[in-house]
């Protein structure tokens, strides 16, 4: 990939963000649209986690990553601090891989 392409993509991304500010100006979005926009980051993160958990090289697979995800979800549900959630998820994945 060339540096010119990276620079062009960066300018395009920044331009789209600036265009949104220019077009909306000081106007308020509708409440329905505001509620939807707030949910986009969580939905995107969930989709990325699901893709990385259940696929390998464009094929569906279930392996030790599922155990790590289950442990991380359980720890999050119990309101464990984020750093500990990550350590528990990674640790359980490593443990299942070591056993299998």
Q: What is the pLDDT of residues 42-55, one digit of tens each?
A: 999 999 999 989 99
* 12 lies in some domain: no
Mean pLDDT score, 24-49: 90
Any domain includes 22:
no
Range of the domain at 86: 31-99
Average pLDDT of the residues in 16-44: 88
pTM > 0.75: no
Strand, coil or helix: 60: strand
pLDDT, position 74: 97
Q: In a 10 Å sphere around its CB, with 0-12 CB exposed, 13-18 middle and 19+ buried, how is residue 68 labelled?
A: buried
pLDDT digits (tens, 9 = 90+) for 59-100: 898 889 999 999 999 999 999 999 999 999 999 999 999 998
- Position 24 in a domain: no
The pLDDT of residue 28 is: 84
Asked, for residue 35, whether it belongs to a domain, the answer is yes
> Looking at the domain assignment, is residue 69 inside a domain?
yes
């Amino acid at each position: 990939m060339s540096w010119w392409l990276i620079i062009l993509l960066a300018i395009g991304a920044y331009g789209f963000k600036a265009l949104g500010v220019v077009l909306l100006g000081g106007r308020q979005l509708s409440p329905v649209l505001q509620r939807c926009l707030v949910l986009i980051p969580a939905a995107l993160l969930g989709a990325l986690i699901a893709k990385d958990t259940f696929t390998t090289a464009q094929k569906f697979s279930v392996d030790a990553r599922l155990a790590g995800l289950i442990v991380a979800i359980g720890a999050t549900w119990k309101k464990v601090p984020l750093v500990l959630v990550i350590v528990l998820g990674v640790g359980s994945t490593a443990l299942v891989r070591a056993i299998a």
